[in-house]
Structure 1
Amino acid sequence: MLPNTGIPTLAPGYAAVPPGHIATIVTSLEMLRPPPPRPGRPFPPELALEPLLRPEPETYRALFREVGADWLWFSRLTLAEGALATILTDRDVEIFALRREGRNLGLLELDFRQPGACELVFLGLTGDVVGTGIGRTLMDAATSRAWARPITRFWVHTCTLDHPGALAFYRRAGFAPFAVHVEVAPDPRLDGTLPRDCAPHVPRLG
C-alpha cells in the first residue's frame, strides 16, 4: 500500500484490463509557492470568463460534456445527483465557464475545501480553441485566483486520456509531479454516459 493513501501498489509486470474497461496513467502535480510573475496575456475581448454560481447539476454537466467528452471526462457524469449538488453549492468551490457569444468554450474549477490548499479540479477547452494560446490565459487566471487565497499548496492531476500536451503544459505553468497512479474504470461509452464515437484515440474494448 502507498503510505497515507490506502491505494495498493502495483507489482512490476503486465496486468490485464477487464473487457469493457479503460486504463489510464494518472500523474499528480503540485506547486508549493506562487510562480514568478510573467507578462499577462488577457483573453480576447470577445471571450468572457463567467462564474457559475450554484449551477444546477444539468447545467454544469452540459458544460462538462462540451469540454471533456473528447478526452473521456466522465467522473461528474456518473456522480450521484446529490453528491454533485453538494460540490456545486459549496462556497469553497469556484466554477467558471469560458464563453464567446453565449457558447461554452472552456471550464475552470477550483476546490478550496481542504484548508491551506487548492485543487485545480478541471481546466479544459473545446477542441476548436485548443492550441490558440487561450489555455495559457486560462491557466494564468486559475493560478492567480488560487494564490489570492491563503494557501500553501496548489495541485492538479492529469492522465493519459487527456490531451497529449497536458502534462508538459502543467509543468510549464510551474507544477512539479509528485505521484503516479493507474486507474481502471468502466468505459463510459458503453453504457451511454458518453457517445460511442467520442475519443477515438482510446480503444473501445467491449
Structure 2
Amino acid sequence: MGLIPVPPGHVAAVVTTLEMHERPRARPMPPSPLRLVRWPAPDPAKYRALFERVGGPWLWYSRLVMDDARLIAATHRAETQLHVVEDRQGLEVGMLELTHPEPDWCSIDYFGLVPALTGAGHGRWLMAMAMALAWKPETRLVRVNTCSLDHPRALGFYRAQGFEAVSRSVETFPDPRLIGVLPADAAPHVPLVSAR
C-alpha cells in the first residue's frame, strides 16, 4: 500500500469505468417535467456556459479549455449525439452527450443536471432517455465513467441502473479553479491546494 503524491496545484481523481452488456428491462418512464432536445450544432459559447453550469460543481473542465475549433470538432462529429435538457420555461438545465465510436457500442460521455435538480428523481428520467438513445439494435455495450470528484451518489446511481464497474484509473490534472477556468468557489468538497 502506498500513497502517490499529487503535485501542488493539481487535483487527483479515481475514475471508475462502468459497462452494461445487455439492454435493460423495460421499465415505466419516470415522470419528469423536463424534456430532452437534440442539440445538433451548439454554439461554442452556449455549450461552454451549460457545461460549466452542469459540471462546474464537479470540476468538469475539459471542454472549457478547448478553443472553438477543437470544441466544434468534438461536438459536431457524426458519431456524437448531443442533447440539452430543458425545463418547462425552456431553460437549459442539463445535458446528455453520447458517442457511438463503433456501431456496436456507445459511450455516455457527459450526463448531468444543474445542482438544483439533484435528488428529485430527474436523473432516473434522464438515464431512461439515455438508454433509449444508446441501445440501438446493433448495440452490444454501453460505457460510462464517473470519478471521485462527482456527486457522492453518482457511482451508486449508475450501478442501480444496471452498470457494472470494470476498471479504475487515477487521473491528475491542473486544478481548473487555480488556472482561472472555474471560479475558486466551485466544487467546495474538493480542497484547494495551491502551488507554492
Summarize the Cα distance change of 1:171–1:99 in structure 2 as closer, same or farther, 3 Å threshold.
Answer: same
Q: Is the 8 A contact 1:68 1:124 kept in 2?
A: yes
1:184 aligned to 2:168? no
1:104 to 92, 95, 113: 92
What residue number does 2:127 align with?
139
Q: Residue deviations 1:32-74, cap 9 Å, x none?
A: 1101112222422xx2211111112211111101101111111
Q: Residue deviations 1:110-168, cap 9 Å, x none?
A: 01123311000011111111000010000000011100352111000000100000000
Q: Is the 8 A contact 1:49 1:97 kept in 2?
A: yes
What residue number does 1:8 align with?
none
What residue number does 2:47 align with?
60
Q: CA deviation at 1:178?
A: 0.4
In the alignment, structure 1 segments of 5+ residues that lack a partner are 1-11
Distance 1:105 1:56 in 2: 16
Q: Is the 8 A contact 1:98 1:104 kept in 2?
A: yes
Aligned residues: 193
TM-score by structure 2 length? 0.94
Q: Residue deviations 1:9-49, cap 9 Å, x none?
A: xxx411111000001100000001101112222422xx221
Query: Which is further off, 81-90 or 186-195?
Result: 81-90
1:126 aligned to 2:114? yes
1:81 to 68, 81, 86: 68
SS in 1 for 2:50: helix
Distance 1:109 1:40 in 2: 20
* RMSD, aligned α-carbons: 1.2
Structure 1 stretches (4+) deviating beyond 6 angstroms? none
